[in-house]
Amino acid sequence: MPADFEDFARVASQSRSSAVATPPRFNRIAVLGGGADARLIAALSLAENCDVTLFSAYGKELEQLRASSGIALRGAGPLGSYQVDSGASSIKLTAELDAAVDGAEVIFLTGPIHKQRTYAMVLADHLADGQVLVLAPGRSLGAVEAAWMLRLGGGTADVTLVETQGLPFWFKPEGTTLALSARGPVVAATLPRGRSEAIAGLSHILPNLDEVDSVLASGFADLSAAVNIPALVMGGPGLASGGVTVPMGGVPLPENLTFASLIGSDQMRLIQAMAEERRQVARAFGVRGLPDTDEWIANHTGPQKGEGARPVPDPNAARIMLRDGVIGSLVPLSSAAELAGIDVPQTRAMIALTGAILDADIAASGRRLETMGITANSIDDARRTFDALTPGGR
């Protein structure tokens, strides 16, 4: 292991917190970002009577919220309208990062990966011992990348990173209103390893977290891009698979407007192949116990109709999903596979296809092991590095 990363691993893996009989309940929450995911987290936190501050560097996002009647939740979850900047029982808005994070027990990093990276870098000298940073979603090795960014930014505080693979609800934004449907359990892990109290302290806001033993296990459990990309880019009358044929002049039924309806037999075969590639690479890194493939896929698609159905994203959100899927899910898997000497042709094909669709070399900005300081020469070296980051490793 290189000396610079060895130093990073030692600092990042130190665990100065101890297990407590009664888990904490975090009440001072900062949410970085003004997108729909940030608004959802802020509203869920306020519903639990937390002290919530939402930061955005974009005046338009803050102005839209201030001009509205607040954040409205409809469908599932804690329904209602959650006010902004209207007294103690409201979400406080700010464009000042230090004001948002000062005194916060938990800081949520939201939005696309490029924003999460920026937040991690600029937060480095704003953090204090004991704070918890939550990446939701963290995708594959998001916590490792954030820890590396904090180190590059000169951060020295003893913080805990929580990598989750989703939120308690699927959501469809309509202005400042969010239509929600409940989703199943999502995998989560802490860095440093073993700080379960951080996940327990989030349970009133994120009650569906399913803790696994390391961010390595959490990263390999991220099947999101393998589901999202085939569903969003394959389909139409040529394949007659994925999507539902509606007669001219007809109106699709509600169950035909869900994410699961985009997946037909052709898409499913590709998703299953990509799931098996991920499972194979995970085994090479010592990660086992991933869900059954059908269960794994169903967790990311949601049912085709009824409670828990996942909505189809709008075109802008879909493009963000494609970009982040390559950067934060497929490239890390391809990088790990390369080190393990395993061929992942379906994953590589999806990376190339998505880059062509978006007309950008998005793979170049993907999370590769070496860009996060993991310059291992063999899979055994990489395992030792990850074990250094996650004490008590396999």
List pLDDT tens digits, range 245-282: 555 555 556 566 799 989 989 999 999 999 999 999 99
The pLDDT value given to residue 392: 33
Residue-wise pLDDT for 104-128, tens only, equals 999 999 999 999 999 999 999 899 9
Note whether 160 and 193 are within 8 A (CB). Answer: no
* Fold matches, 28-213 and 223-388: no
CB-based contact 172:179 (threshold 8 Å): yes
Check residues 9 and 59 and name the one with the higher pLDDT.
59
* The pLDDT of residue 12: 44
Backbone phi and psi for residue 353, each to the nearest 5 degrees, phi listed first? -65, -45
Q: Percentage of the chain surpassing pLDDT 70?
A: 86
Mean pLDDT, rounded, for 195-209: 96
The dihedral sign for the CA sequence 13, 363, 272, 166 = positive
pLDDT surpassing 80 at residue 1 = no
* More confident call, 222 vs 371: 222
Percentage of the chain beyond pLDDT 90 is: 68
Separation between Cα atoms, residue 137 and residue 208, nearest integer Å: 13
Q: Which CATH architecture group holds 28-213?
A: 3-Layer(aba) Sandwich (3.40)
Q: Superfamily for 223-388?
A: N-(1-d-carboxylethyl)-l-norvaline Dehydrogenase; domain 2 (1.10.1040.10)
For the chain, the average pLDDT equals 87
> What are the two backbone dihedrals, phi and then psi, of residue 120, each rounded to the nearest 5 degrees?
-60, -40
Q: For residues 294 and 7, what is the distance between their CA atoms, to the nearest angstrom?
A: 41
Quick check: 25 pLDDT over 90? yes
Taking the domains of the chain in order of start, what are their residue ranges? 28-213, 223-388
Could you tell me the CA-to-CA distances from 286 to 76, 162, 217, 313, 381 in Å, in that order? 38, 21, 9, 35, 13
Closest CA to 215 of 252, 250, 269, 165: 165
pLDDT of residue 252: 56
Average pLDDT over residues 203-230: 95
Q: What is the band of 13 on the pLDDT scale with cuts at 50, 70, 90?
A: very low
Question: pLDDT at residue 15 above 90?
Answer: no
Q: Which of 159-173, 244-258, 296-310 has the lowest mean pLDDT?
A: 244-258
